[in-house]
Structure 1
């Protein structure tokens, strides 16, 4: 059997990926997700209880965190716009009510009323400007949210179509089959493991697919060069 040395698996350059690995790390999980998002067909068989479920969940929840953050931004902006709009109506009403009272009751009304009126007008102008700016900001955020939802929805649908995750019984060793070939390594699909256990053995694609199928069905617990 011929063995070669490898310290990484170039997921980002592979197509039509079928692989079985007992454990992944964040780097390889994200690499698989990005390939699926770009339309590359991926089938992952794993007993990893962290990144396996995470990848499977991305088929339904990809981008939801970003969407929720954007939604909260829209709601915050909407609340600000509503508050400023109400104030721009309330302030003139208060001024209209107070002006006659001030004029009639204060002995120095001729000195007080003009500055109050000027202040009220200035405040009203500023509130209307702020209200207009808030409405524009709200409109931009709403439009941005809609674009984001479309973009994320498109990527999520691509991931849903392209990525399949199969939870398997516990096994050891990694088999990778892709458009250009297939290989086996005793390492997990993690950066640390691949740098520690760096030998891999090339396989026929048909043999690799049969081996992965057997792993998924629980018929193989340990992958070795003898298989």
Structure 2
């Protein structure tokens, strides 16, 4: 049986093999009063946020679900987030300019693609923004805030189909940090002999196989 441990990276501070250090988590704020998308955005900015929250990583999305779960269940209504449709480029983007990940939890067929929101059940969708909903405010910092996942010792990704990048680094923890800085990263393998860190995106491998000297970080998935 291969060794396995949990690893949680918070603002360059680490929780490894049970040793915990506190750090700053995501700066989100739920507006529980109901308003349309434009009014909700104005409320967020009046509270000194950049606007609606960007949820482009599994950790940020899952944190948003957790802090809004009780309200979404009680009100049976969703909340606006920082996802919009750009008619000029014909793409859906987060407010910080990043694209939604291919494994983002969409709720079936997308409606009128203009303003993004999380449905009461927890999946993403878009509509015209006229519906009155709650809102999730946030700042659009591109600094890493929190990365969660599991470490597998002496194992590497199997059947790799696509690689985001390969970089030379001094340690496994640096490799995990680089993965956490890229919202697309889902798996990071560090080969100690070569000091090589390989980052894979969603669906970039089929699983793990034994490989002496490799450490692989498998990131938390979207809920």
- TM-score if structure 1 supplies the norm length? 0.26
Q: Which structure carries more helix by proportion? A: 1
Larger radius of gyration, structure 1 or 2? Answer: 1
